[in-house]
Structure 1
């Protein structure tokens, strides 16, 4: 990416860290609501560079991780059926269902394909009119517009053998649910910049005011994270609770009008289950009545599937910010990327995957008994 190195400048990072230290007078707990931000934080050791007492809590910001187990099982059921081409982004293939994953289904003869865009799946449907082609539509507000566009195009072009298995979720209701939890420790939020680039920031001021928490829209590079922390801490120290846009290079207050219009046409708001968390009211989308014929869940009659999470997996607590990944007894032993218990270990944005990738050696007991030395990568 052009100019990317500017947002990883070590000298600027030190200046931001010095500024954060100079304004911090007491402990504060902030939650980043994006898995991409979590990976940046862990990869660059940002949480270890911050002043003592500033805690970054990892929230439910990984779209793969929050896709509920019953939806994964519905995907497995559909993908196993003859005459179906099941298309998905690659990071969904390793996510465990109740007894297997999409890789296993493909190994057993299912036609499971990795695509790079939902429009690729639509093209497969156009070229194979004798097959039922299903795209696994998951994610936050960021991936919802292209999925909506694909359904819109399927209707416009008259491609009846395409359908979408929908599991889209919305960030603001999740923040509401987190703040209403009796165990909530969050005092401020780093909001996901890519979500706000689509949706704008209109839904956040009411949340900030009602729960008296600062919300800072933040990007994904190390300096973005540090600037978001700096602004959130400054508000907390002053007793303020407003929405700030620290990602103005990508986010406009009104969002993306074309994307919002497409979402309003194709989707409607619904209650949605989040893996490991439960049902959050008005936290998801489903296809609107006009496009219901493209709903794979109804087309394949899989709405009755129910599941139960494995007791050893504590990913729900990780997603709620109640547990750091390495505090789970199964981390790195019973649960690894090769043999995951939950999606947080296999998703490219999962918190458990971030800790396993960048920090598991630091978390192992040192041979000499001394604390491991942390080398910041910022």
Structure 2
């Protein structure tokens, strides 16, 4: 019997007490569904999705600010992917565009520089949303903007960091027995960040990649680490203990830690990054965007913290579907509601 089959058999036949593992990476959430991982596990191994989807944890005040900016004369909002469909307190960026606002989707961050240079008489606002993985990208954009003397491009930032929100989850819930640590984030931060978290919380962490066998290996490792603090790095091909020092230096040059508001969780001290004061000229009004208005009946807050499974939300699959999403977790392809819906996943795992 090969090692992978042995792992599969062990996980499927696990008969110990119920254990709950949380992934805090949107790409892991998608990969778990795409690979059919929940169906490979014992009923006593539960997988829950945490606040690892950057679009999903963006509060409505940020969306509202972006929609307002898109309606201003001579201003275009630039954004990646799923954010365009996430509703603010009233409108999404897609709605704003339909109402006459100027919104463009980007496929490369350097497109923001190109557009600003090509249309120097127009103002551009780049929606800078993400975690430690993408913050270096925005630092790179700023570096290039300064180098090329670009003055008609600003950032509207909603940048968040993982350690503090994981601490928040551990402090405010008692339903996590282990964490599948975010692989992409760990490339930048290094695995030592999660070693410190494990020592503080007494909960084990495993860093892993995004292939089906890698995820199964992580779950298998966590099953053997229950009630034991510690970290295993199963993604050593790209994750080191200290992380990407060059990326960290780029971020430290332009950004500093700040308090940040998370959808459904409120203000979490020290969980965000904002532009340093010397770069305030490149900020499009990011400070103080803390209000969050959930659609009536939406349970995103409880889903994001693993309190309930997505299909336990009363709107799931009824009035809330990927085609007509109410909550951000159903909009993003990294959102847990979206992935539950498209995979037909039940709350069993």
Instruction: Output the CA distance in 2 between the equivalents of 1:192 and 1:40.
Output: 12
Instruction: Output the CA distance in 1 between the equivalents of 2:273 and 2:13.
Output: 43
- Aligned pairs for 1:226-305 within 5 A: 226-236=216-226, 239-297=227-285, 303=288
Instruction: Output the CA distance in 1 between the equivalents of 2:238 and 2:248.
Output: 16
Q: Indicate yes or no: 2:307 matched with 1:322.
A: yes
Instruction: Output the CA distance in 2 between the equivalents of 1:13 and 1:100.
Output: 47
Partner of residue 313 from structure 1, selected from 286, 298, 306: 298
Q: Indicate yes or no: 2:28 matched with 1:37.
A: yes
- Aligned pairs for 1:1-378 within 5 A: 13-20=4-11, 25-181=16-172, 183-236=173-226, 239-297=227-285, 303=288, 306-359=291-344
Instruction: Output the CA distance in 1 between the equivalents of 2:106 and 2:63.
Output: 17
Change (3 A) 1:304 1:198: closer
Tell me the matched-pair count: 348
Q: Deviations over 1:165-207 (max 9, x none)?
A: 10011111111000000x3210110001110001112222221
Contact 1:23 1:234 in 2 (8 A): no
Change (3 A) 1:348 1:21: closer
Query: Deviation at 1:26?
Result: 2.6
Change (3 A) 1:303 1:208: closer
Contact 1:58 1:319 in 2 (8 A): yes
Instruction: Output the CA distance in 2 between the equivalents of 1:307 and 1:14.
Output: 46
Query: Deviation at 1:24?
Result: 6.2
Query: Tell me, what secondary structure is at the counterpart of 1:75?
Result: helix
Query: Deviation at 1:306?
Result: 4.0
Change (3 A) 1:119 1:185: same
- TM-score using structure 2 length: 0.94
Query: Tell me, what secondary structure is at the counterpart of 2:285?
Result: helix
Instruction: Output the CA distance in 2 between the equivalents of 1:307 and 1:19.
Output: 43
Structure 2: where are the runs of 5+ without partners? Answer: none
Query: Tell me, what secondary structure is at the counterpart of 1:297?
Result: coil
Change (3 A) 1:13 1:304: closer
Contact 1:42 1:359 in 2 (8 A): no
* Cα-Cα RMSD: 2.1
Structure 1: where are the runs of 5+ without partners? Answer: 1-10, 364-373
Query: Deviation at 1:303?
Result: 4.6
Structure 1 runs of 4+ with >6 Å offset: none
Instruction: Output the CA distance in 1 between the equivalents of 2:231 and 2:74.
Output: 50
Contact 1:73 1:305 in 2 (8 A): no
Change (3 A) 1:350 1:282: same
Instruction: Output the CA distance in 1 between the equivalents of 2:291 and 2:263.
Output: 13
Contact 1:93 1:102 in 2 (8 A): yes
Query: Deviation at 1:13?
Result: 4.4
Query: Deviation at 1:304?
Result: 6.7
Query: Tell me, what secondary structure is at the counterpart of 1:185?
Result: coil
